[in-house]
Amino acid sequence: MMTEPTQQDAALRAFSIKRAAERLDTSPAALRYRVRRGFVHAARIGQRYLITATELERLLTPVEMDGERYRTQENRSAVRTA
């Protein structure tokens, strides 16, 4: 019997840097830089970083500041949206 996915299930789904970068329309190197600087939360397992679906959703959610829309509050200039 299949059940509906819960919010906890979504939080447990994780994406590699490469896959998350594709979804965010940025390069893996730029995303790794943001992870190392603490702008993006990721779990490090061995030499790999994994980004949860919840964190990816947070990064994809536009934020409005100063009358303009941005993807995240942390890095305004790099991810400004139209």
- To the question of pTM greater than 0.85 for the whole model, the response is no
CA distance 29 to 53: 19
pLDDT digits (tens, 9 = 90+) for 2-39: 556 565 565 568 999 999 999 999 999 999 999 999 99
For the chain, which residues make up each domain, given as ranges? Answer: 7-70
Q: What is the pLDDT at residue 66?
A: 73
Count H helices, E strands: the chain?
A: 4, 5
What is the pLDDT averaged over residues 33-57? 94
Q: Which residue has 């919840």 as its token pair?
A: 54
Q: What is the pLDDT at residue 64?
A: 72
pLDDT digits (tens, 9 = 90+) for 62-77: 777 677 666 554 544 4
φ, ψ for residue 64 (rounded to 5)?
-100, 125
Q: What is the pLDDT at residue 9?
A: 60
CATH code at 7-70: 1.10.1660.10
Q: What is the pLDDT at residue 62?
A: 77
Question: How many other C-beta atoms can be found within 10 angstroms of the C-beta atom of residue 48?
Answer: 11
Structure tokens at 15: 């994406």
